[in-house]
Amino acid sequence: MPKRYNRRPEPKTENYGASPLPVDRPAAIYYRQSTDAQIGNINTTLQTVDMFEHLVRQGWSPDAILMIDMDAGVSGSKKISERPGLSHVMELIESGQISLVAAQDVDRFFRDVTQIQVNIFIDACKRNQVCILTPRMLYDFNHVTMGPYHMKIFRDEAQHAADYLEYFIKGRLQASIAHLHGQG
């Protein structure tokens, strides 16, 4: 008589699906521009007004959204402690006052070549169950199955931002400007 095999139960799909947004707790929006000249451009609107409206559409009440806008004109390559806005975000994370931090992109948080600051931030978010939201993705470092992958993607995005700063802006662009200045 042939041996019978029982089919394994299907894995629960919620282990792979997106985490529900933590709209029952306050969220923060982190705004940063690299230079004073960029303040007030279209990117400012995207990072502040549009992001605020996005969070409201996702379910947060307007009074539960904190705007952290102290890092206008501050480089993303600086340490957390050298940026008043990001330092405040870290205080909110560590004290359990927020459930989520929203930003227009990962490069608003970091352009850290060493990745040290990125990992400090990820660790704080993970320990305090704080998610990161950009228009493209929800990063949930505590997700049952996707948490490690979300950490990898966040690190990769931050590394790409640092690489862009190092190789394109500092390398090619500034070298070209210096060359033009040298020619009069």
Query: What local confidence, expressed as pLDDT, does residue 75 receive?
Result: 86
Instruction: List the pLDDT tens digit at each of the 184 positions of the chain.
Output: 677 767 666 544 456 677 789 999 999 999 887 655 555 555 655 667 889 999 999 999 999 999 999 988 888 889 999 999 999 999 999 999 999 999 999 998 988 888 899 999 999 999 999 999 998 999 999 999 999 999 999 999 999 888 866 655 555 555 555 556 667 6
- String of DSSP letters for the chain: -PPP-PPPPPPPGGGTSPPPP-TTS-EEEEEEESSGGGTTSHHHHIIIIIHHHHHHHHT--GGGEEEEEEEET--TTS-GGG-HHHHHHHHHHHTT--SEEE-S-GGGT---TT-HHHHHHHHHHHHTT-EEE-SS-EE-TT-TTTHHHHHHHHHHHHHHHHHIIIIIIIIIIHHHHHHHHHT-
Per-residue pLDDT, 117: 96
- Give residue 13's pLDDT: 43
Q: pTM for this structure?
A: 0.78
